Amino acid sequence: MKLSSRTIAVLLSLLVATILSLLAWLSPSLPLREGVLVAGITIAACFLLLYLMFEALIFQEINNIYEGLEHIKRKEFRRMSNKFLFRPEPLKRMRDEILDMAQRKQQEIDELKRLQVLRREFLADVSHELKTPIFAAQGFVHTILDDDDVDEFTRKKFLQKAASSLDALDALVQDLVTISQLEKGVVRMRRQNFDLVQLVHDIFEQLELKAVRRNVQLALSPPEFPAGGLHVLADRNRIRQVLINLIDNAIKYGRENGHVTVELTENAKSVRVSVRDDGEGIPKQHQNRIFERFYRIDKSRTRESREAGGSGLGLAISKHIVEAHKSAIRVQSEPGQGTTLEFKLAKPKAVNLRSDEAVS
């Protein structure tokens, strides 16, 4: 049976008081009434004395423990340095606090382990992605250098392939720099008022050739907008980058002879942008990780992305850009039913129709 410090103090004080009272009652020099009074005073005095001494001893041990714990979490335990003095069951509360701290520390350890695994995966992926164009360029250049009989046509062809590999390497490095700056908050968003409908049409024209190669039809929904288009307040160049990444992925991983639809839905304060394809869809277990750098759902997609010139960082960059606009990209997908990626952009206020301001 567990006894609190108060219960132990009461038992000890009653024991001492009983003995003293018995001696006082048996003493011939004290009458019965005064003996009872002495007993009460003795009980109260013994209780207070023993209780305070007991608590003081416990508090001394608690301070010793907290001196060690402060090295682990100084700020949290400093505010609790006087919390347990002269209060009941301090050890129980301290145990709860320690268990709570241990649970948080375990969660931090688990998170660090998860991040360590992600770091190793990232290093392996980025090493592989860097080596691919480097080795390709090296191969073409060394072939030309090692063979003096290479004709001019072959030489030019190999140099063009080497240049393409180096261009892919440059794009990968630039994407790595961009995502690093976005994660650190270095990149500033130039928020301006622009027509989102016109931007989508411009991107459709830019990606038309890729869509034609896979016989994919690009569509904007609704097809008609009021004169003046649909205006938002955002960084036009960065939102252009996001839409290119999302639409390009939809073309790449959607169904051949299929459709890619960009839907714009507005309310009083914002515009919801949805990019929908009719491809195989993304399984549930992968949906929370597709925005990680170089995350691969399957090897075939990795090969397709590399052949198409993708760096594997498009969705990760898009995620950070959208978050810098105080929004988030949501994924809606079911296997065999296609994928929809959507986010929201703020609409300009009437007084800010010509605004152009920088925001972090």
The yes-or-no verdict on residue 357 having pLDDT over 70 is: no
In angstroms, rounded to a whole number, what is the distance separating the alpha carbons of residues 246 and 243?
Answer: 5
Angle 236-253/299-307 helices, nearest 10 degrees?
A: 120
Angle 196-206/236-253 helices, nearest 10 degrees?
A: 50
pLDDT digit string, tens, across residues 120-156: 766 776 776 777 788 888 888 888 888 777 788 888 8
The overall pTM is greater than 0.85: no
For residues 73 and 178, which has the higher predicted lDDT (pLDDT)?
178
**317, 183 Cβ separation under 8 angstroms:** no
For residues 14 and 220, which has the higher predicted lDDT (pLDDT)?
220
* Average pLDDT estimate for 230-247: 92
The whole-chain average pLDDT of the chain stands at: 77
With a CB cutoff of 8 Å and minimum separation 6, the contacts of 218 are: 204, 207, 208, 211, 247, 251, 259, 260, 262
Look at residue 112 in the predicted model and tell me its pLDDT.
85
User: DSSP code of 201?
Assistant: H
The yes-or-no verdict on residue 77 having pLDDT over 80 is: no
In angstroms, rounded to a whole number, what is the distance separating the alpha carbons of residues 149 and 127?
Answer: 34
Pairing relationship of beta strands 339-346 and 270-277 according to DSSP bridges: antiparallel
Tokens 């007991």 sit at which residue? 54
Look at residue 151 in the predicted model and tell me its pLDDT.
82
For residues 60 and 222, which has the higher predicted lDDT (pLDDT)?
222
Q: What DSSP line would sit under 26-95, residue for residue?
A: H-TTS-HHHHHHHHHHHHHHHHHHHHHHHHHHHHHHHHHHHHHHTTTSHHHHHTTTTTTTT-S-HHHHHH
The yes-or-no verdict on residue 191 having pLDDT over 80 is: yes
The yes-or-no verdict on residue 251 having pLDDT over 60 is: yes
Pairing relationship of beta strands 217-221 and 259-266 according to DSSP bridges: parallel
Q: Which domains does the chain have, with CATH numbers?
A: 125-184 (1.10.287.130), 191-346 (3.30.565.10)
Q: What DSSP line would sit under 216-256, residue for residue?
A: PEEEEESS---TT--EEEEEHHHHHHHHHHHHHHHHHHS-T
Bridge partners, 345 (sequence order) = 271
* Average pLDDT estimate for 312-317: 82
